[in-house]
Amino acid sequence: MKSTYKPYTIAVTILFLITTLTSTALATRYAGEFLEIGVGGRALGMGGAYCALAEDPSSFYWNPAGLARVPSISIWGMYNNQFGDFGDPLAQHSVMGAVFPITGAALAVHWVRLAVDQIPIFPDYSEDAGYSLEERKQLIDGVPQGYFDDAEDALFISFAKMNKFNLDLGWAFFVLPLEIPYGINLKMIRQKLYTSEAFGIGADAGLQLRFSLADMFSKPFLGDFALGIAYQDFTKTGIDWGEGNTDVITQNLRIGLAYHQDIPAIKSEFNIERVSNTRYSYDGRFGMEYIWDKKLSFRFGFSRLDWGEFVSGLWDDIDFGTWNAGMGIKYWHITCDYAFMRADLGNAHRISLIYQF
């Protein structure tokens, strides 16, 4: 990192202190906050609206059931500049992992890391510090007394299983083919901030339901409906800092409704999804995706979407939150996805690469 400080260095430092220190109730509310950033260029390009549609290696984060849809052995990684310039970010967020499909199921392992280096150390200027007036004059030159690093890691081990069966609605109706994969994560968390270090263990679970609306309504032009449900940290994941100090990650119920439409005439596909999260009161997301010839994709979405109140048949005071956009290119066995997010502390650029054997 450069030796010169950007105007928002202090803001970023405070942010990471808030999310990791355990001395207040607020820290428990935002425990494990580095896992809220999200993973995967495809999902993030859609604003994180990726629960019912989840079907690539990044599914372990959004809904582990989607790992059952990964068609072949895949290795992948993602890099994200979190706050600041792409080449010189204040924080670096990265993901590496692999998915190993087996008959009707899949195993996966992933590593997520957020790192902030060279956080400046300044002296305690409070009256309780005991400095004399002359000493205080010498300390206010703004020169750090040293630096420390923040490192936050999580290891995910996942299992997913695909279930397919026909729902027989009786002789007067029809048989509806259903796909209902489910998945589970076991995650181990390590956080290190200055001289403090913490460890935790937790679990997530997910389920998807997909079926053809064309089969249901006998209308060939209709596409597929998908429902996704993911229950993150259902074990009330605890992060132990020692000496009786433990943070508990707030549980999150993620629900997604999606629609997939094939458009054979122009070799295209269209996806749209609406997602809600419950971790912080209400967190809505909306995303869409256009795919041409399974090679080129364009995406757009909103994160932190709030519909406001439903008044007189209309939604009032809609807050679209943060907009996201992205694109993807698939060539040979390689898929490259890019996502952009506008943010006050610096735009975020996320790039992920997937190699499928």
The residues facing 165 across adjacent strands are 178
Residue 326's CB is within 10 A of a number of other CB atoms, namely 28
**Tally of structural domains, the chain:** 1
User: Do the strands 314-316 and 322-331 form a parallel or antiparallel pair, or are they unpaired?
Assistant: unpaired
pLDDT digits (tens, 9 = 90+) for 145-156: 788 888 899 999
Q: What's the domain range around 243?
A: 9-356
For residue 111, give every residue at least 6 positions away whose Cβ sits within 8 Å of its Cβ, in sequence order, or none.
Answer: 95, 96, 97, 153, 154, 155, 156
Question: Is residue 130 over pLDDT 70?
Answer: no
In a domain, 2, yes or no: no
∠ Cα 278 282 283 (to 5°): 90
Rounded CA gap, 346 and 11, in Å? 12
106 in a structural domain: yes
The CATH number that applies at residue 188 is 2.40.160.40
pLDDT bin (cut points 50, 70, 90) of residue 40 is very high
Highest mean pLDDT among 144-148, 300-304, 312-316 belongs to 300-304
Q: What is the pLDDT of residue 48?
A: 95
Rounded to whole angstroms, what are the CA distances from 302 to 48, 141, 218, 314, 330? 8, 43, 33, 20, 24
Asked if residue 79 belongs to a domain, the reply is yes
Domain presence at residue 251: yes
DSSP string, 295-332: TEEEEEEEEEEB--EEETTEEES-B--EEEEEEEEEET
Which two three-digit tokens encode residue 160? 């997913």
Q: Is residue 173 part of a domain?
A: yes
8 Å CB contact between 267 and 76? no
Tokens of 131: 């400095």
357's tokens: 């054997």
pLDDT value at 194 more than 60:
yes
For residue 51, being part of any structural domain is answered with yes
